[in-house]
Amino acid sequence: MPPQAQDLDTLTTSTQAISPADFGYDQARHLLWRAGFGGTPAQIRTLTEWGPARAVDYLLNVEEVEDPDQPVRNSFESDIMQPPSEEEQRQARLARRNQDENALAEIRRRRQMRQRQDRRQIRDIQRWWLTRMIETPRPLEEKMTLFWHGHFATSYRTIENSYHMFMQNQMFRRLGMRNFGELLMALIRDPAMLAYLDNDQNRRGSPNENLAREIMELFSLGEGAYTENDIKEGARALTGYTYEYNEFRFMEQRHDPGQKRILGKRGTFDGDGFVRILLGQKNCAEFICTKLYRYFVADIPEDRRDPRHRAATSVINQLASTLRAADYDLRPLLRKLFLSRHFYAPQIAATQIKSPVQLIVGAVRSLNTPVRDLSILMDGLDLMGQNLFYPPNVKGWEGGRTWVNTSTLYVRQNIMSFLLTGRTPSGYAPLSSVDRYDPTHLLSDLGRTEPGADRDPQRVVDYLLRFTLGRSPRHAQTKTLVDFINENGGRPTPQVLVGTLALIAAIPEYQLC
């Protein structure tokens, strides 16, 4: 349930670090869900024992954790959608000139074959990324990669080049926890983005404004922080920024080298100069911190009189100061946020609606369920509104309450049932016996700290609700679950625990983290 109105006035705006004495099980659980995709009881216990500073630094310092995925990420084909060679172009011209329908049909057949192959590869890349999010020992790295994928939203549906989408995903992972300015510089050289926003068609004398507009409105400053003339001049600065095959190329003959005036600055700016002007705007740090706050902390009410709006604004301003002082290095900002007293406030915890990715990846990572069938999970993501590499538009996924409606709730519950039992909505369960789920490991900490408690229905229910919901349950919820265990033999056997977890997953609060 959301925090009561009278509690909101007490919501701390402090970004001072939480003390080790105030960092316990609930805070460690909260950190794992927000800075990653949840954690097992053992992982929660480890972070609790480490304390806040060591826990946050472990999540942030991803380079110190081995990445086992390198061989897999090198297995995708880079040349499926390569442009025609000079010889192929010559043959196509000859066929058109001679009106050779057989030759033209063969050219179309080969192109369609490559397109089908590329669509298969983007499906493989989706499977790879979903698997990586589930298995990675560097969860914050993937959480940030997912953030940038929604922030710099680019869709395969538009560009139809799976390797370019893969390259962009790798860029987000490589730079996403480093420096925002460096990331923005890389973005204007990214083939996927250049194609998606038509900057490959941006040339002197006929500037295309798409990238310049979105880089200001959606990527760095926000609406109202620029004029239409700034867009036109920014587009001129980006002329000639294009790509060939899989590589960025600056085509000087297409670039407009003339004087430009952008956001009050005059000069012969190119794309890099344009980006530096954006980074110099006070709005830029505040805009990025607002997006990160919404992603990691909470939605911000539009009503300025709302105490949550005032608290969020105060915290965002403090974070923006940190980001500017660090010259857009993201880690000092993230460290300040994940250690802050505000981040761990009771009014913040367990109030964020899980995205479809958070729901599926978080269930597997925290409950340690079998993955079962990646294709079914990916179809579920699509039905729930978060198809990876297919954001709905350049604004990305809106998130928040838009994730949940009568249709998506039905899918959410079916996906959880599938992960726990192997059963699909039709009742078909081909993997249920092969990948049988035994959740008794979830109770190991309970039995270790309170001998015999892992056999007591009341204590088992209290423990599982605290672990899965992150908040005090309602009495009716507890009673229903205890009654379920007692009606099924009174012992938390693996089968009974699966049923208990299925009932918990149907509780509305399970959709929150």
What would the DSSP string read from start to end of 32-60?
A: HHHSSS---HHHHHHHHHH-HHHHHHHHH
Dig out the tokens for 79 from the structure.
């040349």
- Number of neighbouring beta carbons within 10 Å of residue 252: 11
| C-alpha to C-alpha distance for 132 and 167, rounded to whole angstroms | 16
Beta-bridge partner residues of 249: 242
| C-alpha to C-alpha distance for 12 and 315, rounded to whole angstroms | 9
Name the nearest CA neighbour of 501 among 363, 360, 359. Answer: 363
DSSP 3-state assignment of 205? Answer: coil
Helix (H) or strand (E) segment spanning residue 487? helix 475-487
Q: Phi/psi of residue 401, each to 5°? A: -65, -20
DSSP 3-state assignment of 197? Answer: coil
Angle at 258 between CA 255 and CA 264, to 5 degrees: 115
Q: Packing angle between helix 475-487 and helix 457-469, nearest 10 degrees?
A: 130
Per-residue pLDDT at 2 = 44
| C-alpha to C-alpha distance for 72 and 130, rounded to whole angstroms | 13
Q: Which residues of 67-90 are buried (b: 16+ CB within 10 A; e: fewer)?
A: eebeeebeebeeebbeeeeeeeee
Beta-bridge partner residues of 203: 206
Residue with tokens 């869709």: 155
Please check whether residue 383 is in contact with residue 116, taking contact to mean a CB–CB distance below 8 angstroms: no
Per-residue pLDDT at 4 = 44
239: region left, alpha or beta (phi > 0 left; psi from -120 to 50 alpha) = beta
Per-residue pLDDT at 379 = 96
Residue with tokens 């701390």: 12
Please check whether residue 439 is in contact with residue 494, taking contact to mean a CB–CB distance below 8 angstroms: yes
> Amino acid identity, residue 92?
A
Alpha helices in 99-227 (DSSP H): 101-135, 139-151, 156-159, 162-175, 180-187, 191-196, 210-217
Beta-bridge partner residues of 247: 244
| C-alpha to C-alpha distance for 354 and 412, rounded to whole angstroms | 10
The dihedral sign for the CA sequence 79, 379, 296, 221? positive
User: Quick one: CA torsion of 220, 222, 226, 230, rounded to 10 degrees?
Assistant: 50
| C-alpha to C-alpha distance for 366 and 363, rounded to whole angstroms | 5
> Amino acid identity, residue 326?
A
Per-residue pLDDT at 434 = 66
Please check whether residue 363 is in contact with residue 416, taking contact to mean a CB–CB distance below 8 angstroms: yes
Write out the chain's pLDDT in tens, 513 residues: 344 444 666 899 999 999 999 999 999 999 999 999 999 999 999 999 999 999 999 999 999 999 887 656 568 999 999 988 888 888 888 889 999 898 888 888 989 999 999 999 999 999 999 999 999 999 999 999 999 999 999 999 999 999 999 999 999 999 999 999 999 999 999 999 999 999 999 999 999 999 999 999 999 999 999 999 999 999 999 999 999 999 999 999 999 999 999 999 999 999 999 999 999 999 999 999 999 999 999 999 999 999 999 999 999 999 999 999 999 999 999 999 999 999 999 999 999 999 999 999 999 999 999 999 999 999 999 999 999 999 999 999 999 999 999 999 999 999 999 999 999 877 666 655 568 999 999 999 998 888 999 999 999 999 999 999 998 778 889 999 999 999 999 999 999 999 999 999 999 999 999
Q: Phi/psi of residue 249, each to 5°? A: -140, 130
Residues 6+ apart with CB under 8 A from 104: 92, 95, 96
Residues 6+ apart with CB under 8 A from 301: 308, 309
- What are the extents of the domains in the chain? 18-60, 356-421, 439-511
- Taking the CA atoms of the chain, what radius of gyration do you get in angstroms? 26
Residue with tokens 């706050």: 293
The dihedral sign for the CA sequence 6, 9, 15, 16? negative
